[in-house]
Structure formats: structure tokens, C-alpha cells
Amino acid sequence: MSARRKLLVNALKLFDLGLMAGAFVVASLAVLRESHVITFSQFFSMRVKIQNFAIFALLILVWHAVFCMSGLYNSRRLCKLRHEMIDTVRATSSGTLVVFAGALVFNISLATTRLIFLPIFWLVVTLATVFSRLLLYFTLGFIRKRGRNLRNIVIVGTNIRALDFAHKITAHSQIGFRVSGFVDQDWSGLERFQRSGNTLICDLENFPQFLRNSVVDEVAIALPFRSMHHQATRIAASCEEQGISVRVLSNVFDLKKPYGSEEDFESDNVVVAGWAEGWPLIVKRVLDFTISCLAIVLLFPVLLVTVVLVKLTSPGPVFFVQKRLGLNKRRFSVYKFRTMVVDAEDRMRGLEHLNEVSGPVFKIKNDPRITPVGRFLRKTSLDELPQLVNVLVGDMSLVGPRPLPIRDYEGFDKDWQRRRFSVRPGITCLWQVHGRSSIPFDKWMELDLQYIDRWSLWLDFLILLRTIPAVVRGSGAA
């Protein structure tokens, strides 16, 4: 990183922290004005306790870590504006959730007892950060279109993928790349490349010498992975030796979902395709643990009443315990309040001809095995509350695909449906808020995969909010 870029990035980091602190003050003033506790002048003349200062400093550090882990300070020249804005909103939303969790842990009454604080804080900090990013994006674009702040990039490869990449970055002058030329060896498609009017600056053998004598900021490698792995490795090593950034233009395995991340392990650089562990999942787990703890404490009277109702109205155990499949098909015991007669699973075989849903799942709207109290518990989803214990111990999450019984999984006939096991199962998900048992099996699986592909902490928050009216309506419950 150049000294100029390092200075600009550090300035941006301080600016973002200033926006966070400013939003905190604005939200606090709004709460104080609404509550008429103290005046503005009294607020600004208050003494700050060392303990409160330490807590606020900790929140700022965590906020900074969230922004760093979101990649908002990485070079994002090739990032679309839409993705930049989405990542920014995700970062501020995740940071706000962390502030809320911190407020619960440290008992900050301003943030926990006033419903107006968090919405105002999130709105102010999100709008301010998005506006600052928009201003930065268009300012840099304006400068780059006039030939400043440009990076010279050399593309290694002359295939269609290389030409398409060159066309894209040339068409978007605001990202600030200047294509210095192409590098490749003689092959059957080289004549067609030369007719395209692009410049072949040297061959693969002489490319390290070219790097030594030329101004090159970045190298993009677009060579075929299978047939030219050795050449690509040698070129990447030459770039590393000379401190030149390398981009690899390739979904090397032609995966349909080319998402992933990069990790370092014992000096090895490992590219992960799929759901790798990262800070968003860590935040998700922290929130799961915190919220499930609070929910168990707050709902304890409801849990106690439900235990008594189940015990008094139906012979048998209070809880229904069943083996289900969780993350990567690990088996675990799921807990629910028992809503059926004790021998319900033994009687299933004789009722399978009444199954009302497609696929391997077994559902009957007016299931004769359900007890009167059990029907109420299912309608209100109170039978799911013991799964907060599953969330607490880490077998489940608050939001995620519903855990399926082993019997249902054995009826799967398509591998794409099994991708739902790549994430931790949850108490609620998109299926839960779109009608539950009234949704066909294939649509249910599609909603689960849609959740996995679109996942973010913000999406979890929206699903939790939408679950409440869905439960109140009792839509699709069976």
C-alpha cells in the first residue's frame, strides 16, 4: 500500500468513527428531548464517567472491526456501486446490532429502554455513511475519468475471458484502470486476438523481464487453469517478488455459485468456495446466544404455564425429543413441547395415505394424533419455544432452514436440496413467514436456498420481524 493510499484509508477510518460517534450523540439527544429528562445544555455539561468512556471506546473499536471485516477499506475499484452501498448498509446494520447487544450486556438504559434510540442511530449513521461513500465514489470517478489516480494493468492471456475483462474495465473509466497490454504465448486463437486490435506486449517467457523494466501496478491472470497452471504459477511468483498485485480472473472449477473467501493457513493461501467461517457468522452466533438467553428468561412464565398445560391435559412426557439433521447433516436432538399423543410416530405409517404435502415431508392439516392443547400450541408456535435451548447450545440458530427429521431427509431425491444443510438450522426462516405448511415442498427448498444465497445479518433481522405477525396470524400452521 502506498503512503498516499495509507493516509487516505486512515483518514476514512477516522471519518467513519466520527460519523458513528455523531450518530450516537444525535440519537441520544432525540431520546432526551422525547423524554424531557434533561436539557441539551445539561447533556453537554455532563461529566463522563471513566466506566462509560471505556464502554463507548469498546463499542467504537468493535464498530471499527465490523467495518474492517466488511472489506470497506480494501481496494474496491472493481466493486459495483450497488454492491458498495449494500456492503455499507450491511456494515452499519451489523454494527448497530452489536451496539444493541453491547447495550444489553452493559445495561445501557439509553439504548435498551428507549425504542426510539436504535432506529434513529441506525438511520443517521447509515445515511451519513452511505452519503460519504457516494461522495467518495463519484469524486474518485471524476478524478479518474480525467486521467488521474490510474493504475496500469497487464492482462495475462488472450482468450475470450481476457478480452471480455479488458472491455469491461475500459468501458468503466471511473474505476481507474489503464490496460497496458496483453501477454501470452503462441496458440491457435492468437491470430483472432491480433485482429481485434489489442496489443500483445510480450510472451510468457519474457514477461518477468517486462515487469522489471515497465510501470505495472497490477497483473490480471486469465490463463486456462488446467493446461497452464505451471505458467500461471511462475507469473504470480514473479509478480510477488516485485511487489505487484495479482488478480486471478477465473472461477477455476466453473462453479455456478462463484462466491467465496480467502484464508491464510500456515503460509498457504486458501480460496474457499461456499460458507466459510467469518466475522458475520461470529456476530450471528453471539446474537443467537444473547437473544436466546434473554428470551428464555423473559418467557419463563410462558414456558412454565405451557409445561403445566401439557402435563395436565395429556398423559406422557412434556417434551418431544427427536433426532434431526443440522449443520452438514450432523445429528442432534431437537426439543419441542409435545403436541401429539405419545405413540404418534408409531401411528404415522397408517396415516401416510392422508399426507397433504408433496415431497418426503409428512403433514396433515387435521392430524388426528394432535391433542387439543397441542393444536393451540402449534397454531401459536409455542411448541417451538424449547428450541431456544438448541440455539443456546449451538445446534441451531434463531434464523435458518428448519431442521428436518431423518425420515424426511431420506426421501430427498435431488442433491441441490441438500445444500440447505450447509448452514445451521433455525427456528424460523423464509418458509416460516411465507405460509409454512401451505407451501409445496419444492418451493420450501427453493426458499431455503434463496435464504442461503442472500444471507446477511440484516436479512435475519427482517425475518425475525416478519415472523411475529406470521405467528400471530397462525398462517400455514399445521
Does 66 share its domain with 169? no
Q: Cα–Cα distances in Å, from 156 out to 78, 163, 166, 393, 439?
A: 18, 10, 11, 50, 50
| The one-letter amino acid at 293 | C
Does 215 share its domain with 296? no
- Among the listed ranges 46-50, 76-80, 373-377, 382-386, which one has the minimum average pLDDT value? 46-50
Does 76 share its domain with 104? yes
Residue range 310-317: mean pLDDT, rounded: 88
Q: How many domains are there within the chain?
A: 3
Tell me the per-residue pLDDT of 46-71, one tens digit each, with 9 for 90 and over. 455 566 667 778 888 888 888 888 88
> Measured between alpha carbons, how far is 74 from 277 in angstroms, rounded to an integer?
19
The residue range of the domain holding 456 is 279-473
Residue 263 counted as domain residue: no
Does 209 share its domain with 306? no
pLDDT band at 359 (very low <50, low <70, confident <90, very high): low
Domain boundary among 145, 164, 184: 145
pLDDT band at 356 (very low <50, low <70, confident <90, very high): low
Q: Cα–Cα distances in Å, from 102 out to 113, 124, 203, 278, 359?
A: 13, 19, 57, 20, 44
Does 311 share its domain with 457? yes
pLDDT band at 472 (very low <50, low <70, confident <90, very high): low
Residue 389 counted as domain residue: yes
| Phi and psi, residue 310, nearest 5° | -65, -45
Burial class (CB in 10 A: 0-12, 13-18, 19+), 352: exposed
Residue 266 counted as domain residue: no
Domain boundary among 145, 177, 208: 145
Residues sharing a CB contact under 8 Å with residue 337, sequence separation 6 or more, in sequence order? 306, 307, 310, 318, 319, 320, 374, 377, 382, 383, 385, 386
Tell me the per-residue pLDDT of 113-171, one tens digit each, with 9 for 90 and over. 456 778 888 899 999 999 999 998 888 888 888 888 888 899 998 888 888 888 888 88
Strand partners, 336: 320
Domain boundary among 145, 179, 199: 145
Does 140 share its domain with 156? no
Residue range 83-110: mean pLDDT, rounded: 79
Does 459 share its domain with 430? yes
330, 326, 332: which is closest to 423 by C-alpha?
A: 326
pLDDT band at 38 (very low <50, low <70, confident <90, very high): low
Tell me the per-residue pLDDT of 191-231, one tens digit each, with 9 for 90 and over. 888 887 888 899 888 888 888 888 888 899 888 877 788 88
Does 118 share its domain with 209? no
Residue 267 counted as domain residue: no
Q: Above pLDDT 70, what percent of the chain?
A: 82
Does 228 share its domain with 330? no
pLDDT at residue 266, as a whole number? 46
**Is residue 469 within a helix (H) or strand (E), and if so which, with residue range?**
helix 457-473
Residue 18 counted as domain residue: yes
The CA angle 120-122-126, to the nearest 5 degrees, is 120
Does 245 share its domain with 285? no
Residue 58 counted as domain residue: yes
Residue 478 counted as domain residue: no
Residue 268 counted as domain residue: no
Residue range 1-5: mean pLDDT, rounded: 64
Does 434 share its domain with 412? yes
pLDDT at 437 over 80: no
pLDDT band at 385 (very low <50, low <70, confident <90, very high): very high
Q: What length is written for the chain?
A: 478
Does 463 share its domain with 330? yes
pLDDT at 262 over 70: no
